[in-house]
Structure 1
Amino acid sequence: PAAEARPGLRMARSGLVGHLVQGHVDGVGTVIAMTDDANGGRTMEFTLPPALARYVVEKGSITADGVSLTVTFVARERFGVALVPFTLTATTLGRKRLGDPVNLEVDVMAKYVERLMGRTP
C-alpha cells in the first residue's frame, strides 16, 4: 500500500507534539468498515494483526499509512479510528476503500516498555 510521508516528531514549548512515529511498518491491516458522519468525518475499522494486538489500546496512538491517529476502540482482531475532514482530504486515508491494505506502525513506547519489563517475545 501507499505510504504517507510525514514530518517527524517536533518539540514545542509545551512539550511533545504528536506521538513518536518512526516510519517503520510493523504490520499490514485491512479496511473492514467505514462510516461517514454528518460533519464530514469518517470512522474506519481495520483488521489488527495478532502480533501487534498487545501494543494497541483504546485512546492510544497508532499510525496508519504514516498518519498518526488515536484508537477509538480495540477488539480481538480489529480496531477503529475517527478521521476528521482535514485528515480525509490531506492524507491517503480519504481514498481508502473496503478491502484496501493499510501499513500499520504501533506506538514505539509500548515496545520499549515491553523490553524494559523483560517481556520481549
Structure 2
Amino acid sequence: MFTGIVEEIGTVRSLRRGAHSAVLEIACSTVLSDAHVGDSICTNGVCLTVTDFGRGSFKADVMHETLDRSGLGSLAPGSRVNLERAMAANGRFGGHIVSGHIDGTGTISSIKRDDNAVWFTIATTPDVLRYIVEKGSIAIDGISLTVARVSQKDFAVSTIPHTNAITTLGDRKTGDTVNLETDIIGRYVDKLMRLGAPDAQEPAPAPAGITAALLAANGF
C-alpha cells in the first residue's frame, strides 16, 4: 500500500526483455535505505517486488500482464521514474490510498501554465473515467493528485512547482503516456452497487438505494 507521495526519482539502468516479461533495474538511493528482497516499491505507479538490490540500484521482475496494462514497457535506459516505498504503519498519510495496481493508461493531451501552476489534461478510456470525480484523488505515474476537472473524454489536474520539480511530471510532454490508478474506494462502492449483476457493465436496478436490509443481507 502506498500514498502517492513520491520519495525520489530513479533512473532506469536496464530493461532486459524476455519472451513475455522483463527484468527492470533502477538506479536510486533513498528507497534503498532499508530495502529487503521481497519489498514493494511503487515505480511510476506500478507496485513492483524487489528481487535483488545492491549499492545504488534494485531489480524487479515485470510480468506480461504488467507490461500490457502499464507504460513500463516503453521505458529505456536513462528513463526517469517516480519511486515510493510501501507506507509505514507509523507514518503520515500524506496522499491517498494507492495500491500500485493501475487501472489503465492515459495520454497527455494538453499542458498549460497558469501563473505558478501547470495544468495537465489527460485523455483516457471510459472505463477509467467512470471512477474519476471532480475534487477526488487520482494517481498519475504514482503521484497523488486532485482532479480539478473531468469530462466524458478526459480529466485535468493542476500541479504546483514543487510537484513538478520532485517528480517526473516536469519531464512530461504532450502525447506522453502515463499510468493511472483511480481511487480504490470508488471501485469498491461501484462493485457493491452491482449486487445481483456481478458481470454487468451497468449497475443492477436497486430497490430504493442502500437500506438497512440490503446492508444486513451482505454482511454489514
TM-score range, shorter chain: 0.7 to 0.9
> Structure 2 vs 1, CA of residues 12 and 93 (structure 1 numbering), >3 Å: closer, same or farther?
same
- Please tell me whether the aligned partners of residues 9 and 19 of structure 1 are also in contact (alpha carbons under 8 angstroms): no
Q: TM-score, normalised by structure 2?
A: 0.49
What whole-Å deviation, never above 9, does each CA across 1:86-106 have from its counterpart, x for those lacking one?
110111111000000000001
Alignment of 1:16-31 (within 5 A): 16-31=93-108
Q: Structure 2 regions of 5+ residues with no counterpart?
A: 1-70, 73-80, 202-220
1:37 Cα deviation (Å)?
Answer: 2.3
Q: CA–CA distance in 1 between the matches of 2:187 and 2:87? A: 18
What is the percent sequence identity of the aligned residues?
A: 39
In angstroms, what is the RMSD of aligned CA positions? Answer: 2.1
SS of the residue 1:111 aligns to: helix
Q: Structure 1 regions of 5+ residues with no counterpart?
A: none
Q: CA–CA distance in 1 between the matches of 2:153 and 2:90? A: 35
Q: Which has the higher contact order (CA 8 A, sep 6+)?
A: 1
The residue that corresponds to 1:110 in the other structure is 186
SS of the residue 1:62 aligns to: strand
1:12 Cα deviation (Å)?
Answer: 7.3
Q: CA–CA distance in 1 between the matches of 2:82 and 2:173? A: 16
Amino acid at match of 2:118: R
Q: CA–CA distance in 2 between the matches of 1:117 and 1:80? A: 27
Count of matched residue pairs = 119
1:4 Cα deviation (Å)?
Answer: 2.2
Q: TM-score, normalised by structure 1?
A: 0.86
